[in-house]
Structure 1
C-alpha cells in the first residue's frame, strides 16, 4: 500500500457498533462543526485523576487557545459515541524543537492530548485510538510511535507497556514538576486494535489506565 493511499484511507470515518457502547465513530476533529471549548473541557476531565495525584499536565487546565494550537500542530482525531465526542488524541510527526531527543527523530511520530471521558474509560476506546495512531504514523513513513506520561504514574506505564510500548527515556519537560517517562513502540500499518478492525472486541477490553 502506498503512503498516499494509506493516508487517504486514514482520513475516512470508521464506524463500529458495540454492545454496551452503541455506535462508535473515529474521525478527524472538524473545527467547522466541533467545539474547541468542548474538547478542552473533555481533556480537563480526562486528566483530573492525574491532577489529583499531583501531576500537573498541560491538559489539566490548559486554555482553549493552547488546545487548538497543540491540535493544529498535528492531526487531531476524536472518538464519537451516539453523536457525542468521548475521546481524543493528536498525532504529530517529528518535532525538531522538542526537549525530548526521541521526539526529534524523523522516524518518530508522537501522541499528545490523549484523553477519554472518565465514564467511558476502561472500555478499550483508548486502546483502539493508540492502535489507530500507529497506523497513522506508519502511513506517513514513521517507524516509531512515541508518547510521554508521568514517570511516577506506574499504572499508566503498565498500561502503555501492555500496548507494546517500551521506555526509551526519562525527561524533565519545562513547566512540569515531575519527570516524564518517554515510551515508544513500532508503528504498524495495519491489524491490531486499529479501526476498522475492532468489531466484537472493543466492549470487552479493560485497562488500568485513566485514558483507556
Structure 2
C-alpha cells in the first residue's frame, strides 16, 4: 500500500511534474487543458510555493500528490488570473493539483490525499476548504460532492477550454486532545 507523506525538499519536482502529466492525460484526451496537463517544472514549483504538498509513494516512486494552502492575499494571481474572492476569503484553504498515477487508480489514494490535505487545513485553524474543477468533469465533481463539497460559484480562467466551478466545504475544528 502506498505511503502518504508531506512533500520533502529532497523530492524531485521533475518526477512530480511527470506524475501530474501522466495523471491528467485522460482529462487532456477529453479536450480539457487543465494546467497540470503540460505544465513545466517551474510552474509546479510556483504552484507549491506557500502550499503544503503531500505525496503518495510506492516502491520509492511518487504515485500521487495534492497541494493545500491557506487563502491567497487579495490581489494575488492564481495561475496568471486574478484570484476569485473565494480563494482570498479569510479562513479558506485551497486545494490544487490532486493527481494519482493511472497505474495506481482504484487504491483510494485520491481519498487518502484529500484526507491529508483536509487534516492539514483543519490543524491550521482554517474553517473551509475550496477548489476549482472543470464544469463538464462530472465524475470529478461527484467525487468532491460525496466528500461534502458544494458548488458555490463559477469562473472562466483565461486560456482554458472549459468553464470551471468553484466548490467549498466547511471544515470542523481539529479535535483537541486533553493532556
TM over 0.5: yes
2:92 to 101, 108, 114: 108
Partner of 1:128: 112
- Aligned runs of 1:149-164 on 2, under 5 Å? 149-164=133-148
TM (norm. structure 2) is 0.88
2:160 is paired with a residue whose SS is: coil
- Alignment partner of 1:146 out of 130, 133, 141: 130
1:94 is displaced (CA, Å) by 0.1
Structure 2 residue aligned with 1:87: 64
1:135–1:189 Cα contact (<8 Å) kept: no
Separation (CA, whole Å) in 2 of partners of 1:62 and 1:142 = 29
Question: Residue 12 of structure 2 is aligned with which of 29, 35, 49?
Answer: 35
- Match of 1:115, SS state, is strand
**More relative contact order in 1 or in 2 (CA 8 Å, sep 6+)?**
1
Task: Assess if the C-alpha contact under 8 Å between 2:3 and 2:58 holds in 1.
Answer: yes
The answer as to whether partners of 2:156 and 2:162 remain within 8 angstroms in 1 is: yes
- Cα distance in 2 for partners of 1:58, 1:103 equals 17
Number of matched pairs: 168
Retained in 2: the 8 A contact 1:89–1:111? Answer: yes
Gaps of at least 5 residues in structure 2 are 77-81
Name structure 1 gaps, 5 residues minimum: 1-21, 192-212
1:189 CA displacement: 5.0
CA distance in structure 2 between the partners assigned to 1:73 and 1:45 by the alignment: 24
* Structure 1 residue 114: Cα displacement: 1.1
Are 1:66 and 2:43 an aligned pair? yes
3-state secondary structure, aligned to 2:167: strand
Partners of 1:78 and 1:88 within 8 A in 2: yes
Instruction: Report deviation, 1:190.
Output: 5.6
